[in-house]
Structure 1
Amino acid sequence: MARKIGFYTVLFYVAYGLFFYWYLFYHAETALPFEYQGSQADPATFLNSRELALSEEYSKVRNFLFFLSTPFEWVLYLFILLFGLSKAYQKWGEKSAKYKLLQQGIYLFWLSLTAYIATFPLSYISYTLSKTYHISTQSFAAWMKDELIDFWVNFGFLYLFVVVIYWLINKSQKRWWLYAWFLSVPFTLFITFIQPVVIDPLYNDFTPLKNKELETKILDLAKKSNIPAEHVFEVNMSDKTNALNAYVTGIGSNSRIVLWDTTLNKLKDKEILFVMAHEMAHYVEKHIYIGIGISLFLSFIGLYIIYRLMHIIIAKWGDVFKIVDIKDIRSLPLMLALISLLFFVSSPLTNTISRYEENRADKYAVAMTEDPDSGIATFQKLAKSGLSEVNPPLIVKIFRYNHPTMLERIAELEEASVLKKNSEK
């Protein structure tokens, strides 16, 4: 049975990969609709022929890597179960430590290390791809440093998750998912609160904005939006990327307005103010809190589905996967595979909600700055610096885009610009 499951899993993964290769490289329609040709949303108006070709090449490969990497994680966890590695890690933990908490930590370390090594080739290919197309400016040593930070941060959070989840399962095999969800509410709020001041600085250095004249303009904009900001922060990202970004993050007293130095270097002040007005809209319209609410709602449903599926799968194929009981830590790879699967399945919904919020933020920025032309120039530069597809294939948009496409954003701003000019006549 284990060989049969393994064979069909590999067969499915290969077929899945071939489908997306065919779809992305031969079938997907990315040509600009006729009505947009020659408009400011037409990439031919702001990208040269080489940039257009590079954007198309880069996007195809990057999208293909995305669609390969997610199901690869499911296949990996499945084979960890089928080959008895999960059982072996449990034994190593029990032989190496006396206390259960340490045993769980050792088990999780070996599981995390296996997953990291197995997925490293895809991560490295993604890194070299961005270097080849001059998106990334990061050295291999700096990239590995971030990778190791990622490993240990993820290990720390996952260890806390494992300890709590399996303690709850041992206490109540019927309601553990509900208790886990109750605990996730304060935990999610806590992480959102500390992220700007504890987690983000692990990867980058944040300093007050050096351009005080620009900071004053941004803070004036924040004041108009009733955002209680006293400082604007800049982060040195030029050592890592040529891409542009800015954001408002955190909740409560830890809220931060952040600009990448690449954005400061490549955008004019008016364009930066448009970007900041867009980001402030997320704060004004409570998108951070809405996002937390949606995340908690989906996690409630997701935890219940995982609870049901784990009992069904273990009852039917427990012997094949070498899982005795759900409360056995050997069931963790199954749980992680199901979590990853549910994230993937729910991404079209969450992306749709996010695209709606981003569209609202664009409209807010137009209303706040009364400068849609700066917005158009900004999005053109964003597309140019990141080699972004202006009109991505439909499946890519559904699963990958949490922002409207550049075609949609620029076209809407162009319409706003026309209306503004007509009203001024």
Structure 2
Amino acid sequence: MAKKIGLYGVLAFCLYVLFFYWYLFYFSQSSLPFEYQGTKADPATFLNERELMLTEEYSKIRNFLFFISTPIEWLFYLLILLFGLSKTFKRWSEQSAKYRILQQAIYLIWLSVAAFIATTPLSYVSYSLSKKYNISTQSFSSWMKDELIDFWINYGTLFLIVSVLYWLMRKSGKKWWFYGWLISIPFTLFMMFLQPVVIDPLYNDFYPLKNKELETKILDIANSAGIPAEHVFEVNMAEKTNALNAYVTGIGSNSRIVLWDTTLNRLTEDQILFIMAHEMAHYVEKHLYIGIAGYLVFSLLGLYIISRLMRAIVSRWGEALKISAVNDIASLPLFLLLLSMLMYVSSPFSNTVSRYQEMRADRYAIEMTQNSEAAIGTFQELTKAGLSQVNPPLLVKIFRYGHPTMLERITRIEEYELEQRNQQ
């Protein structure tokens, strides 16, 4: 049975990879519909021929890597179970420590190291690709440092979650998913509170915006939007990337406005103010809190589905997967496999909600700044800096895009311009 499950798993993965290779490189089209050609949304009007060619090449390869990365994770967890490695990690941990909490910590080290070894080659390919196309400016040592920081943050977070979840599985039986969800609420809020001041500085240096005149203008917009921000922070991203970004992060007293230095170096002041107005719109329209509420609802539903699936799978295929019970720590790869699958399946819905919120933020920003030229110029520069497709294939948009496509964003700005002219 184990061989059959493994064979079907590998075959499904191969068919999945072949489908997306065919779809991205041979079937899908990213050319603009005729009615948009020659408009400000047409990349041929603001990119040269080389940039157009590089955008298509880079986008196709990057999208392909995205679509195969998550299934590789699924295949990894499946093989870890089928080959009995999860059970072996459990046995080693029990031989190494007396107390259960230490055994779980040791088990997670083995599993995390195995996952790191399995996924790092694809991460390196992605890093090398961004270097080749001049998106990334990061040195290998700096990239590896970030990978190791990711490893230890993920390990520490996973250790806390696993310790609580498997304790609940042993103590609460079939209701573990509900009690785990209740505990996740304060934990999620606490992590969001810590993110800007504890986690983010591990990767980059943050400091108050050097351009005080620009900071004053940004804070004026923030005050008019009712955002309690006292400082705008600048982060040194130029040593890692040529991409552009800005965001509002954190909750409560730790909320802050952040600008990448690449954005400051490349965009005009009016374009930066448009981006800031866009980011502040998320605060004004309570998108962060709507997102938290949505996450909690989906996590409740997700944990319930996982609990039902784990019981059914262990009952039917537990012997083949080398899992004796749901509350056995050796079942963790199955939990992570199901969690990853649910997140992947639900991503089209969450991306749709996100795109709607981003569209609302664009509208808010253009109404606040009243500068459509700066707005369109911003989107054109973002396209150029990230080598992004203006009109990506449908499946790429559905599964990857939490923002509207550049075609949609620029077109809406042009429609807004037309509305304003008609009202005059």
TM-score (norm 2): 0.99
Residue 89 of structure 1 and its aligned partner are, at CA, apart by: 0.3
Residue 419 of structure 1 and its aligned partner are, at CA, apart by: 2.9
Correspondences of 1:36-55 after superposition (within 5 Å): 36-55=36-55
2:107 counterpart letter in structure 1: Y
Q: Would you say the 8 A contact 1:359–1:404 is kept in 2?
A: yes
Residue 9 of structure 1 and its aligned partner are, at CA, apart by: 0.9
Q: Would you say the 8 A contact 1:373–1:414 is kept in 2?
A: no
Residue 30 of structure 1 and its aligned partner are, at CA, apart by: 1.0
Q: Would you say the 8 A contact 1:373–1:417 is kept in 2?
A: no
In structure 1, C-alpha distance between the alignment counterparts of 2:299 and 2:373, rounded to whole Å = 40
Higher mean C-alpha deviation, range 412-421 or range 169-178: 412-421
Residue 416 of structure 1 and its aligned partner are, at CA, apart by: 1.4
1:50 counterpart letter in structure 2: R
Query: 2:105: which partner in 1?
Result: 105
Cα deviation digits, residues 47-98 of structure 1 (max 9, x gap): 0011001000000000000111101111100000000000110011011111
In structure 2, C-alpha distance between the alignment counterparts of 1:115 and 1:294, rounded to whole Å = 29
Partner SS, residue 173 of structure 2? coil
Query: 2:257: which partner in 1?
Result: 257
Higher mean C-alpha deviation, range 365-374 or range 131-140: 365-374
Query: 1:196: which partner in 2?
Result: 196
Query: 1:74: which partner in 2?
Result: 74
Query: 2:276: which partner in 1?
Result: 276
Q: Would you say the 8 A contact 1:237–1:261 is kept in 2?
A: yes
Q: Is 2:242 aligned against 1:235?
A: no
In structure 2, C-alpha distance between the alignment counterparts of 1:302 and 1:183, rounded to whole Å = 15
Query: 2:28: which partner in 1?
Result: 28
1:91 counterpart letter in structure 2: R
2:40 counterpart letter in structure 1: Q
Partner SS, residue 238 of structure 1? coil
Q: Is 2:365 aligned against 1:365?
A: yes
Residue 417 of structure 1 and its aligned partner are, at CA, apart by: 2.1
Partner SS, residue 357 of structure 1? helix
Cα deviation digits, residues 307-364 of structure 1 (max 9, x gap): 0000000000000001000111000000000000000000000000000000000000
1:263 counterpart letter in structure 2: T
In structure 2, C-alpha distance between the alignment counterparts of 1:157 and 1:322, rounded to whole Å = 26
Partner SS, residue 277 of structure 1? helix
Deviating beyond 6 angstroms after TM superposition, the runs of 4 or more aligned structure 1 residues are none
In structure 2, C-alpha distance between the alignment counterparts of 1:241 and 1:338, rounded to whole Å = 33
In structure 2, C-alpha distance between the alignment counterparts of 1:42 and 1:411, rounded to whole Å = 10
Query: 1:290: which partner in 2?
Result: 290
Query: 1:267: which partner in 2?
Result: 267
Query: 2:310: which partner in 1?
Result: 310
In structure 2, C-alpha distance between the alignment counterparts of 1:46 and 1:200, rounded to whole Å = 34
Cα deviation digits, residues 4-37 of structure 1 (max 9, x gap): 1111111111111000000000000211011110
The answer for unaligned runs of 5 or more in structure 2 is none
In structure 2, C-alpha distance between the alignment counterparts of 1:2 and 1:174, rounded to whole Å = 27
Query: 1:336: which partner in 2?
Result: 336
Query: 2:121: which partner in 1?
Result: 121
Query: 1:60: which partner in 2?
Result: 60
In structure 1, C-alpha distance between the alignment counterparts of 2:107 and 2:210, rounded to whole Å = 47
Query: 2:383: which partner in 1?
Result: 383
In structure 1, C-alpha distance between the alignment counterparts of 2:413 and 2:394, rounded to whole Å = 22
In structure 1, C-alpha distance between the alignment counterparts of 2:34 and 2:199, rounded to whole Å = 46
Residue 420 of structure 1 and its aligned partner are, at CA, apart by: 2.9
The answer for unaligned runs of 5 or more in structure 1 is none
Q: Is 2:411 aligned against 1:411?
A: yes
Cα deviation digits, residues 168-214 of structure 1 (max 9, x gap): 00001210000000001111111111111111111111000000000
CA RMSD for the aligned pairs? 0.7
Q: Is 2:393 aligned against 1:393?
A: yes
In structure 1, C-alpha distance between the alignment counterparts of 2:104 and 2:262, rounded to whole Å = 42
1:56 counterpart letter in structure 2: E
2:28 counterpart letter in structure 1: A
In structure 1, C-alpha distance between the alignment counterparts of 2:413 and 2:234, rounded to whole Å = 27
Residue 372 of structure 1 and its aligned partner are, at CA, apart by: 1.5
In structure 1, C-alpha distance between the alignment counterparts of 2:3 and 2:326, rounded to whole Å = 23
Paired residues, what number?
Answer: 424
Cα deviation digits, residues 242-285 of structure 1 (max 9, x gap): 00000001111110000000000000000000000000000011
